[in-house]
Amino acid sequence: MENNENKKVIFSGVQPSGVLTIGNYLGAIKNWVSLADEYDCIYCAVDMHAITVRQDPAELRRRTRELLAIYIAAGIDPEKSTLFVQSHVSAHAELAWILNCYTQFGELSRMTQFKDKSVKHADNINAGLFTYPTLMAADILLYQADLVPVGQDQKQHIELTRDIATRFNGIYGDVFTVPEGFIPPSGAKIMSLQDPTKKMSKSDTNVNSFVTLMDKKDDIIRKFKRAVTDSETCVRFAEGKDGINNLMNIYSCFTGKTHAEIEKEFDGRGYGDFKLAVGEAVADGLAPIQERFDKIIADKTYLDDVIKNGAQAASYRAQKTMRKVAKKVGFIAK
Ligand code: ATP
Ligand code: LTN
């Protein structure tokens, strides 16, 4: 592992609750890669968060490994950054419990993700779903993270993490670094291809609403062809054109072109041409990631090693914060 001392710390995670979408990639992982050299980075597969909704155990195991393989395939080097599985570091659950005692019922009740998921999973509104944000705060605060790169939808959870850290520090002195969110200027909120007023989500039941990082070129092109747009024909970024705006954002993220450049490129051409170009740009952008993923997932020993070393490195760092916190709240030393 590289010497990361004196660098600022980054922490982030994704739930292994489905195959990653281009929303997860553009909103989170792509930025993790671009920040990896400058910061001391810790990236986690948050399997404990994933079980706040029902998961098939065998699938959860498979997806957790695949998620770490995707992190590496996307460009995160496990020699430079710490990659690990949340449930392998018991300090996450320990700190989450303590933070629950410093978080108000009212605060958790206001979380929009909780409200949305309570509607989506009305038959299973469990206590874990409710306290999901305190586990996320524990993830971040355990590693004294300075920066948390996430998509727009996680902004409220980061704010709550900051409030909890500030409150705890106010009582006990400087225990936690108060983290900042890092939300990218573009790609922070990729919308569903079938309902562009809704965020693209990997657990959506309609597979045409998202493009996964593993989708093959033909499927990607087909999904973009079917994307819901509007009754105009002109490719331009404007209020009320949610579908086209979303496709322009995606195209911009994959090609680096600005909205003005895209409007010029497709001037006088219809939506059909534009959708095809978006599909091709996305497929070409994902192809190298898919190629690397296939190699990594086939190398069981390598991935096992990454998982084992990551758990060790993360546990060591987490224990430092846990000892401090336990002492502060009045637990006797082990
Ligand atoms: P689920 O559907 O299981 O709730 P999800 O697709 O919303 O999952 P998460 O695991 O909750 O994804 O999120 C992982 C990361 O991806 C977070 O940083 C989140 O902000 C980001 N993210 C999720 N969806 C999008 C999106 N549509 N656009 C941009 N970023 C996103
Ligand atoms: N809640 C996040 C996933 C997540 C996370 C974290 C992100 C869990 N712990 C810590 C950043 C930092 C989500 O649903 N996307």
Rounded CA gap, 1 and 153, in Å?
A: 32
Q: Which ligand is nearest to the Cα of residue 31, counting in written order?
A: 1
Ligand 1 pocket mutation, candidates 153, 203, 207, 209, criterion most atoms within 8 A of CB: 153
Q: Which ligand is nearest to the Cα of residue 137, counting in written order?
A: 2
Give residue-wise pLDDT tens across range 302-331: 999 999 999 999 999 999 999 999 999 999
Structure tokens at 239: 């209020």
165-174 mean pLDDT: 98
279 alpha carbon – ligand 1 mean position (Å): 21
Q: Hey, CA dihedral for 2, 326, 92, 35, is it positive or negative?
A: negative
Rounded mean pLDDT of the chain?
96
Q: Which ligand is nearest to the Cα of residue 20, counting in written order?
A: 1
Indicate whether 266 pLDDT > 80: yes
CA-nearest residue for atom 14, ligand 1, is 14
Q: What's residue 185's pLDDT?
A: 87
55 alpha carbon – ligand 1 mean position (Å): 17
Give residue-wise pLDDT tens across range 67-92: 999 999 999 999 999 999 999 999 99
Cβ partners under 8 Å of residue 247, min gap 6? 224, 227, 229, 274, 275, 278
Strand partners, 191: 199
- Atom of ligand 2 at shortest distance to CA of 157? 1
Rounded CA gap, 318 and 176, in Å?
A: 12
- Ligand 1 binding pocket includes 150 (Cβ within 6 Å): yes
157 alpha carbon – ligand 2 mean position (Å): 8
Ligand 1 pocket mutation, candidates 11, 24, 154, 207, criterion most atoms within 8 A of CB: 24
Give residue-wise pLDDT tens across range 30-65: 999 988 889 999 999 999 999 999 999 999 999 999
314 alpha carbon – ligand 2 mean position (Å): 16
E-assigned strands of the chain?
9-14, 40-45, 82-85, 147-149, 180-182
Q: What's the pTM value of the predicted model, to 2 decimals? A: 0.94
Give residue-wise pLDDT tens across range 8-22: 999 999 999 989 999
Using DSSP, state whether 80 is helix, strand or coil.
Answer: coil
Using DSSP, state whether 200 is helix, strand or coil.
Answer: coil
239-253 mean pLDDT: 96
Q: What's residue 334's pLDDT?
A: 85
Q: What's residue 3's pLDDT?
A: 63
Rounded CA gap, 83 and 72, in Å?
A: 9
CA-nearest residue for atom 13, ligand 2, is 14
72 alpha carbon – ligand 2 mean position (Å): 18
Cβ partners under 8 Å of residue 44, min gap 6? 11, 12, 13, 83, 84, 85, 86, 139, 314
H or E element, residue 119: helix 112-120
Residues with CB under 6 A from ligand 2: 11-13, 15, 46, 49, 136, 139-140, 148, 150, 154, 157
H or E element, residue 327: helix 300-329
Q: What's residue 2's pLDDT?
A: 59
Burial 99-130 (b: 16+ CB within 10 A, else e): bbebbeeeebeebebbeebeeeeeeeeeeebb
